[in-house]
Amino acid sequence: MEIEHKYLSVNGLNLHIAQIGKDTLGIVVFLHGFPEIWYSWRHQMVAVAKAGYMAIAPDWRGYGLSDQPQDPQNALREHLISDLLGIFDALSIPKAFLVAKDFGAYPAYLFALQYPDRTCGMVSIGMPYSPVPFSIDQLPEGFYIKRWQEPGRAEADFGRYDVKRVVRTIYILFSRSDIPIAPEGKEIMDLAELSTPLPEWFTEEDLSVYASLYKKNGFTYPLQIPYRVRGIKGINQPLDPTIRVPVLLIQGEKDYVYKLPGRYEAVKDGIMKNYVPDLDITFIPEGCHFSQEQFPDQVNQLIISFIKGHPLTV
């Protein structure tokens, strides 16, 4: 059983899709974050395929092997929801499970909100749901998102190094439990030396795959989505922001995102439960931002248990 690759024509772009397994029990669609691509789900795709499901992992537009829009400066987050719907339609998927992380969780949540009849359930890795956007205003100027929101700043910072070094540094920083914040006079890429070892669960071969896939499009679109385009404006969201499908949140307790304003409260104080009635939360005490790569067997088991507990009904 091997992962296969294809391209789908969706919204005028050729989107790259990785796929494995047969949909005997259903379909699971995996949605990556930054600085990731389909490859970040390699462990989960094989596991759910062996469990009887078809696994599909696209590269978002502008990422990996998918086309970059002609005008990435006009990127909108609602394009991602439209692309996801286009993938469902192109592959004739009536209904599927969504597994998402990082910024990929936002279009997944909104897809589940808008199209509950096409969503069996959703697994979020480290991203709680809130209809009210989380604020970063109270974080210092050196906070990486604030830095990368400045037009040209990240481009100049990244441009000092090759793609492999940039991906390496971001992976190292995002794997830590501390929020990436650069002191005055330093840039984000200065926060890790080339001699800093990769996480033990992320190999040089893995890094080479990421670097090779980022060479096609670079970071132009990824700096727009998710960093410079933060809100959803162009879609008609339901008046009721309650998500009516089952949701599993897998929360790494060493994930730096868990320290960002509002995240802990959304999970621990039950705020997310107010908007997601059918919610299960599982904590991974040592889990970092990339828990699906750090602890693949544990995350695979959690995903498979969740989807088997919610069998497909069309």
Average pLDDT over residues 47-68: 96
User: Catalytic: which of 102, 157, 206, 255?
Assistant: 102
**Helix segments in 183-310, DSSP class H:** 204-217, 220-222, 263-268, 271-275, 291-294, 296-308
> Of 210, 227, 256, 275, which one is the catalytic site residue?
227
Q: Is 35 part of a structural domain of the chain?
A: yes
Reading the block at residue 207, the tokens are 């890094």
Q: Which band of pLDDT confidence, cut at 50, 70 and 90, is reported for residue 77?
A: confident
Average the pLDDT over 111-120 and give the result: 96
For the question of residue 71 being annotated catalytic, the response is: no
User: Strand, coil or helix: what is 107?
Assistant: helix
102 is known as an active-site residue: yes
- Average pLDDT over every residue of 90-102: 97
Angle at 265 between CA 264 and CA 266, to 5 degrees: 90
pTM reported for the whole predicted model? 0.96
SS3 content of the chain, % helix, strand, coil (to 5): 40, 15, 40
Of 16, 32, 79, 289, which is the active-site residue? Answer: 289
pLDDT at 124 over 60: yes
Place of tokens 């092997």: 65
Percentage of the chain with pLDDT > 90? 82
Per-residue pLDDT of 152-198, as tens digits, reads 999 999 999 999 999 999 999 999 999 999 999 999 999 999 999 99
Average pLDDT over residues 96-121: 96
CA gap 105, 255 in Å, rounded? 15
Read off the CATH number of the domain in which 196 is found.
3.40.50.1820
Domain count along the chain: 1
Residue 313 within any structural domain of the chain: no
Q: Where in the sequence is the domain holding 257, given as residue range(s)?
A: 4-308
CA dist 32 and 55 (Å) reads 13
User: Is there a domain that residue 283 lies in?
Assistant: yes
In a domain, 314, yes or no: no
- Asked whether residue 145 is assigned to any structural domain, the reply reads yes
Query: Is 227 an annotated catalytic residue?
Result: yes
